[in-house]
Structure formats: C-alpha cells, structure tokens
Amino acid sequence: MSKIRSAFQKGKAFIPFITCGDPDLPTTEKCITEMVKAGADLIELGIPFSDPTAEGPVIQAANMRALAGGVTTDKIFQMVKRLRETIRIPLVFMTYANVVFSYGAEAFLQKCRETGIDGMILPDLPFEEKEEFLPLCHETGVDLISLVAPTSEGRIAMIAKEAEGFLYLVSSLGVTGVRGEITTDLGSIVKIVRQNTDIPCAIGFGISTPDQARRMAALSDGAIVGSAIIRIIEEYKAEAPEKVGAYVKSMKDALTAPSLP
Amino acid sequence: MGEKKGRFGIHGGQYIPETLMNAVIELEKAYERFREDPDFQRELSALLNEYAGRPSRLYFAEKMTEDLGGARIYLKREDLNHTGAHKINNVLGQALLAKKMGKTRLIAETGAGQHGVATATAAALMGMECVVFMGEEDTKRQALNVYRMRLLGAEVIPVKTGTATLKDAVSEAMREWTRRIEDTHYCLGSVMGPHPFPTIVRDFQAVISSEIKAQMLKKEGRLPDAVLACVGGGSNAIGSFYHFIGDKEVRLIGCEAAGRGVDTPETAATIATGREGIFHGMKSYFCQDEYGQIAPVYSISAGLDYPGIGPEHAYLYDTGRAEYVAVTDEEAVEAFEYLARTEGIIPAIESAHAVAYARVLAPKFTKEQTIVVTLSGRGDKDCAAIARYRGEKDIHE
C-alpha cells in the first residue's frame, strides 16, 4: 500500500499546501511543523516556478516571493531531509513539469526517495504525457498524483483507473484561489471515480472556510487548501507559523466534527 | 518517437492542465474535420484573398541587391497584408474554425500587438467577442496597437505578472482559457503551445512558403538558395520554411533576437542560449536557469521577446535542416533604418532581424544565387520605439 493512503485512514483528510521558501525556508519549515501538530494528514509542498500557469494571483505571488528570496530545488530537498527527522505523515511535491525535467527526472526522483517525498503533483502533466516521468516514479516509489477537472467528461474513468496515491479532484474551472462558492456537480464526478478505483479522492481549488472544507470532504475523502494558507503567510510573514497552525486546526476540526447537516 | 501525435522528434506534446485537455482534443477533432472540408477551405481562401489581400507580393529588392553585391534578394511582403503582418493568415483560419465549432469568443496573447490586432480584426469581422492579453511592458512599447485593438472592439488586458511581456501574456491567456472554455477559443498566435496549435498555426501560415515557391519558380525559374525569417515563437518562419523542408538545396535560416548579445542575460535567443525544457504546453528549447526557472528574456522587439521556440523549429534545428542565427538589437535597428533608406520599406523591428542577417549573408553568395527574406510585418508600430532607441525625444506614436 502506498504511504499516501495512510493519510486517509483516520477519517476525512485535511491537506494543506505551502509554497516552499515564502517568505523564507525557516518560516516554511516552522509552518510545516505547526501544520503537523494541528492535525494535517498530508502536506503538499510547492516548489516555486517562475511561471505557474495553473495558479491564481495569491499563489503566483507566493512563487515570486519565494524565488526572489533565493529558494532552489536543492535547498527544498535539504529542508525535507531535516523535517523527515521528526515528521512521519506523507509529503508530496506540487510543482511544474519543467522543475522536474530540468533537474533531471532521475536525479529529482532519487532525491525524493532519499529525502522521503511520497508523491508529486504536476498540474501541467496530463494523462497523455504522464509517461514522461511515470517509469521513474515507479522505480523510486514516488506516486504520480493524477488530477480530474470539472471538464474531464469522458476521461474520468481512464484517469481514475491508473491513478496512484490519491486522486486530486479540481473543484471548479480556472486557476487556484479562494472562491465564494463551488458550483460544479462534484458528486457525480466522485461517483465515476469510485466506480473505477479504490484510491482516495480529495477535492481542491477554491476551498477556504471550515464549512466549505466540510462540504467538500463529505463528497470525497478529503479537502485540499492552498491560497487561504498562503494569504496568512503573506500577512503574518515570520509570525505566520502559529496562525497557520491555528487555521489548520480549525479546518481539521471541521472535518472531524461528528455530525453533518 | 514519431509515433506519438503532436510530436516533432522529441519536441511538442500536450503539457497542459487536465482542465484544458478536452478543449484541445475538441479543437484537434474539429481541425481534422475542417482541414479536409472543401467548403471551409473555400471560405478561408476567400477571406485570405479578398479580405487580407493575398497572395502577398514577392518583391525583387534591386537596390539592396546592388548595394550588397551578392545574392539576388527578394522580399516576401507579408507586411502588405491587411493589419500589417503575417498574423492575419493564422487568425482568419482559427477564427473561422472557432466559429464552425460554435465558439463566440476569442482570446489571444500578443507581444508586439500584431497578433492581437489581427485577432481583434477577425473578431470584428465575424461578430465575435475578443479579449487580448498583453504584457504591461508591451502595452507601453506598442501603445498604437493597443489603441487599434480597442478601436476594433477588443478588450485589452495588461498583464502585470512576471516580466510583463509576451510569456506572461501567454500564461494569462492560458489561465483565462481554463476559467472559460465553453464559449471561448484560445487563438494562439504562434507555432507553439500544446498540440494541435503548432500544427494548426503552421498549416495556416504555410501559405507563405507555398506562394514563395510558385513566385520564385515564375520569376527565377528555380527555387531560392536561402529563405530567411525572424523567429520568436516562429510562426512566420515556419510558414516561410514549410514547403521547402523537402527541398534540401534550399537553406532555411531562422533569425533569433539576441537582444544586447547572446553572451549577456539580456537576450531572447533560445537556440543560442536555451536548453530542452517543458513550458507553455510543449517540450522544446527554453531560456532557463539551472533549476528550470524560465529566464526573463529581453529583446527590443516585443514580438521576439519570448523565452522559447516552437517545437517544430526545435526539431528542424536538431536534425540540422534549418539553421538559427542570433541578431542583436543594434543590428536589427540598423537593418530597420537600412531597408527604409535603401528600398523605401519600413519593416517591423521583428522582420528587421531577418533583414540584418541578409545583409551579412548576401555578399557571401554569388550573383546567380537568390535569397528570400520574409518581411513578416510593417514597421509603423515601431517608429516611436526606434526613435527612442536612437535618443530622439517626443515622437508621437
């Protein structure tokens, strides 16, 4: 069993995202530690990219701040190695294909294995191109996480059948970012996913409030939150870790609340 | 590798978010259907001929030929097309295709503004809504084109992210497409992005080389010895090269923007300074750092100021079929002024990069040999920027 699945064994999973190096790596490291303490089940670590085409303004700005601060893929691997001395929960990278390709996919995935990265999410690597990295992912035991979108009609079964780790269900059209409401018929997408795979399915994009997280997790196996966390980091900078911890706890509490309306 | 669709050797592919996959598949299917459809082709030909003014002239540049004292030089006058550049060839094809697909809205990126103007023009003609994304930096460099687009009824959105130039305009247009797919076609302006765009745009631009071939056979009774075109993403170049790829005796030369020089960071010469990467939907060559961060490239020419090159060019480079040379800002500006004074033709600063290399190459050729230089666009839009480059003040755009 993939280690990622263990994140979904204790009820609905809460999956926070963080852009590594925003505003600096020590802050990122502290935020991650606080997220774990607050009950995060799996953490998405964003390796910043100069041109993050799937991101909305909030995470784009975080990518720019992180790169301006001098973070690099190697420095992030070093941070993961340090974190792994104390942190057991699954960690996955979220970045863009060129970051992996340019590093050398083999070297990148070897480093993932050595430092303890369990999976990677590449929003610009659709089903049709996954062979680019999949053989090396299998060799190193790093799950290549697949995404399903509201526009995936006719493709959901194909993607779900070959999905690994967990399936990332994109809640709505467009890029990442906080949304007032999510109107996609996610229930029927999840239904097709369930018919084709038994790996967990988590919903992301646009989720920021405990209520949204609860509703999204009720439809699936977990909720992914990025921009709302980045906003806290943007506002509080070095003081952010504690606030991020409190936020993650409020979200995780919402998911574990006994009754659902 | 040739068996995978949308590949040019190892280059190309479809590296895009899942959200867009069905949209590009739908586009591919529609294109497969309409490219063979005689009605579609008839309609497109009528638009190209009656509206855009094709075929474009192949002009014998007698003064330039005399002055350089070598090869006979011909200029392929894409600058005389309606809207002033080769961009209209692709846009009319894509807009017609989008309309047949039931789309009512066109979005586009633009660098120099020529593709944006062409898209706004086609949208006006066909009664479609139009939104153009343009780097904020470029809206300043090309203020006249911003006004033209607005005059044509398009909304121009200045892109402030990243380097606020062409690459950021492409990123933002892609983001917009993921937000709104149902009624919207992304009218990509160059032979780049995910499959099927590099193929579609090439096919619509291939009219350039098809005409050059017929015109050269008529005027010279044989094929040219070299075809030169400027390369950013590479649409006018691939259009100029395409029908000569099988004619090995014709040298195909793409002229990249070296900016302040290929040994400086202020360059946009992808073949000279880039390496293999994955970006904007395609595998190709990109200017990037050791960690794969895309470089903030620079050229005086907003249309060539892009950190990548179309995948088919990458393949033509790999196989040695085409050559790529880098031309600096200074050389391009000198060529801009040279062509104006020698032939009475003001080329786009993009096209001036190809003119600049023709000035280097022609004297090395014999008087029996011929060179075709594609003038991808006209230079009215650049006059104010070149005047500024030369230190003149207060030139109104």
| DSSP notation for A115-182 | HT--EEE-TT--GGGGGGTHHHHHHHT-EEEEEE-TT-TTTHHHHHHT--S-EEEE-SSSSSS--S--
Q: Is A176 on the interface with B (CB under 8 A)?
A: no
Chain B residues within an 8 Å CB radius of A175: 175, 178-179
How distant is the Cα of A157 from the closest Cα of chain B, in angstroms?
Answer: 14
Q: Is A69 on the interface with B (CB under 8 A)?
A: no
Domains and CATH numbers, chain B: 7-48+86-201 (3.40.50.1100), 55-84+206-389 (3.40.50.1100)
Coil, helix or strand at residue A14: strand
How far does Cα A177 stand from its chain's mean position?
A: 13
Q: Are strands B370-375 and A201-204 parallel, antiparallel or unpaired?
A: unpaired
Residue B396 has pLDDT above 70, yes or no: no
Instruction: Record the tokens describing residue A220, joined without a space.
Output: 């699936």
How distant is the Cα of B88 from the closest Cα of chain A, in angstroms?
Answer: 27
Catalytic annotation present for B109? yes
Instruction: Record the tokens describing residue B194, joined without a space.
Output: 């995910």
Angle at which helix A210-219 crosses helix A240-256, to 10 degrees, equals 50
Q: For residue A198, is it within any domain? A: yes
Q: For residue A28, is it within any domain? A: yes
DSSP code string of B135-156: EHHHHHHTHHHHHHHHHTT-EE
Angle at which helix A73-83 crosses helix A105-115, to 10 degrees, equals 20
- pLDDT band per the 50, 70, 90 thresholds, residue B162: confident
Q: Structural domain tally of chain A?
A: 1
Task: Compute φ and ψ for A102, nearest 5 degrees.
Answer: -70, -35
pTM for this model (two decimals): 0.96
Active-site position among B28, B109, B211, B350: B109
Chunked mean pLDDT (size 10), chain A, 261 residues? 89 97 98 98 98 94 97 98 97 98 98 98 98 98 97 95 97 83 87 97 95 95 97 97 98 83 49
Residue B1 has pLDDT above 50, yes or no: no
Under an 8 Å CB criterion, which residues of B touch A?
Answer: 13-23, 161-162, 167-168, 171, 174-175, 178-181, 275-281, 286, 288, 290-294
The fraction of chain B above a pLDDT of 70, given in percent, is 98
Please judge whether A102 and B17 are an interchain contact, meaning their C-beta atoms are less than 8 angstroms apart: no
pLDDT (tens digit, 9 = 90+) per residue, B73-99? 999 999 999 999 999 999 999 999 999
Catalytic annotation present for B312? no
What residue in B sits closest to A72 (Cα-Cα)?
Answer: B291
Contact status, residue A98 vs residue A133, Cβ threshold 8 Å? no
Task: Compute φ and ψ for A48, nearest 5 degrees.
Answer: -65, 150
User: Is the bond preceding B196 in cis, omega lying within 30 degrees of 0?
Assistant: yes
- In this structure, what CATH number is given to the domain that contains residue A90? 3.20.20.70
Residue B308 has pLDDT above 90, yes or no: yes
Q: For residue A224, is it within any domain? A: yes
What domain range includes position A137?
Answer: 12-253
Chain A residues within an 8 Å CB radius of B291: 72-74, 99, 102-103
Query: What integer pLDDT is reported at residue A95 of this predicted model?
Result: 98
Mean pLDDT of chain B: 96
Of A60, A73, A147, nearest to B18 by CB-CB distance is: A147
Q: For residue A6, is it within any domain? A: no
- pLDDT band per the 50, 70, 90 thresholds, residue B393: confident
What residue in B sits closest to A102 (Cα-Cα)?
Answer: B292
Contact status, residue B94 vs residue B204, Cβ threshold 8 Å? yes
Q: For residue A32, is it within any domain? A: yes
Q: Among candidates A56, A31, A55, A42, which has minimal Cα distance to A2? A: A42
Query: What integer pLDDT is reported at residue B397 of this predicted model?
Result: 55
Catalytic annotation present for B364? no
- pLDDT band per the 50, 70, 90 thresholds, residue B2: very low
Instruction: Record the tokens describing residue B35, joined without a space.
Output: 């490219």
Q: Is A170 on the interface with B (CB under 8 A)?
A: yes
Residue B104 has pLDDT above 80, yes or no: yes
Q: For residue A259, is it within any domain? A: no
Instruction: Record the tokens describing residue B397, joined without a space.
Output: 């755009």
Q: For residue A4, is it within any domain? A: no
Q: Any idea how long chain B is?
A: 397
